[in-house]
Chains A and B, each alone.
Chain A
Amino acid sequence: MSMPTDGGRLLRYVDALREGIAQEMERDPRVFLFGLDVDDHKGIQGSTLGLLDQFGPERVFGTPMSEDAMTGVAIGAAMAGLRPIHVHIRMDFLLLCMNQLINIAAKAHSMYGGAVRVPLVVRSMIGKSWGQGAQHSQALYSMFMHVPGLKVVAPSNANDAKGCMIAAIRDDNPVIFVEHRLLYPTQAVVPESSYTVEFGRARVCARGKDITLVGVSNMVVECLRARELLLDAGIEAEVIDPISLAPLDSTTVLESALRTRRLLVADNTWTNCGASAEILARVAESGGVEAGVRMARIGFAATTCPPSPPLENEFYPNPAKIASAAYALVRGNNDDWAPDPERAALSYQLQFRGPF
Chain B
Amino acid sequence: MPAYPAPDLVRLYRALRLIRRSEEEIARIYPTDKIKSPVHLSIGQEAVSVGVCDALRADDFVSPTYRCHAAYLAKGGDLKAMFAELYGKASGCARGRGGSMHMIGLDHNIIGASAVVGTTVPVALGYALALKREGKGRVVALFLGDGATEEGVFYESLNFASLHRLPALFVCENNFYAIHAPLAKRWATARLCERVATFGIPAHMIPQSDVLEIRSKAAECLEAIRAGAGPAFLECHTYRWREHVGPGEDYDFGYRNRDELRPWQDKDAVSTLGASLDPGERARVDAAVEAEIAAAIEAAEQAEWPDTRELHNYVYAD
Contacts and interface: CB of A to CB of B under 8 A. Distances in A.
Nearest to B115: A135
Chain B, interface SS category:
loop
Contact of B246 (A64, A134, A356): A356
Interface residues of B, number: 46
A134 to B, nearest CB: 7
Interface centre among A63, A132, A304, A307 (most CB of B within 10 A): A307
A132 B38 contact: yes
A68 interface: yes
Interface residues of A, number: 41
B96 A302 contact: no
A228 interface: no
Nearest to B37: A131
B136 interface: no
A93 B181 contact: no
Nearest to B101: A133
B181 A135 contact: no
A355 B96 CA distance: 17
A40 B150 contact: no
Nearest to A133: B99
A133 B102 contact: yes
B279 interface: no
A66 B98 CA distance: 25
Contacts of A239: none
B181 A131 contact: no
B38 A353 contact: no
A195 B5 CA distance: 73
A306 interface: yes
A303 B89 contact: no
Contacts of A30: none
Nearest to A62: B181
B97 A65 contact: no
A113 interface: no
A132 B147 CA distance: 21
A306 B305 CA distance: 12
B316 to A, nearest CB: 10
B150 A308 contact: no
Contacts of B308: 310-311, 313-314
Contacts of A192: none
Given A36-B179, A42-B180, A302-B312, A311 B38 contact: no
Interface string A289-311: 00000000000011110111111
B306 interface: yes
A69 interface: yes
Interface in B162-182: 178-181
B38 A356 contact: yes
Contacts of B187: 64
A134 B180 CA distance: 24
B305 A65 contact: no
A133 B246 CA distance: 16
B186 interface: yes
7 closest residue pairs by CB, A with B = A308-B96, A308-B88, A307-B99, A355-B38, A131-B36, A64-B150, A131-B37
Interface of A: 36-37, 40-42, 62-69, 92-93, 95-96, 130-136, 301-304, 306-311, 313-315, 353-356
21 contacts: A36-B181, A37-B180, A41-B180, A41-B255, A62-B181, A62-B185, A64-B147, A65-B178, A131-B38, A131-B88, A131-B99, A133-B101, A133-B115, A134-B115, A303-B311, A306-B96, A307-B97, A308-B97, A308-B99, A311-B311, A356-B38
